[in-house]
Amino acid sequence: MKIELKQIGIIHSPFKTREETPIQPYKSEAAGEVEVFKDYAEGLDGIERFSHIILVYYFHQIKDERLRVKPYMDNK
């Protein structure tokens, strides 16, 4: 089975390079913005009634895809 993702929007961030992007962004005061393309805006109808949304995103600038990585601040 093949699963394909279709881009329906863009997450805008104040960070323009990998080097300036925080390793742990939840500690950042920076604000971003989610843009949903016009063709998909209808899908947001009634979103204000929800407490949370889930964004599925793709890091398009990743250069080294690896199945095994060392967790942040871990020495193994």
CATH code, domain carrying 33: 2.40.30.70
Radius of gyration of the chain from its Cα atoms, rounded to whole angstroms: 16
pLDDT at 35 over 80: yes
Query: Can you give the pLDDT at residue 26?
Result: 67
Q: Which helix (H) or strand (E) holds 34?
A: strand 33-36
pLDDT at 76 over 80: no
- In which domain, by residue range, is 23 found? 1-76
Per the CB < 8 A criterion, the answer to whether 31 and 14 are in contact is yes
Q: What is the pLDDT of residues 37-51, one digit of tens each?
A: 999 999 999 999 999
Query: Can you give the pLDDT at residue 25?
Result: 64
Q: What is the pLDDT of residues 8-22, one digit of tens each?
A: 999 998 988 878 888
For the chain, the domain total comes to 1
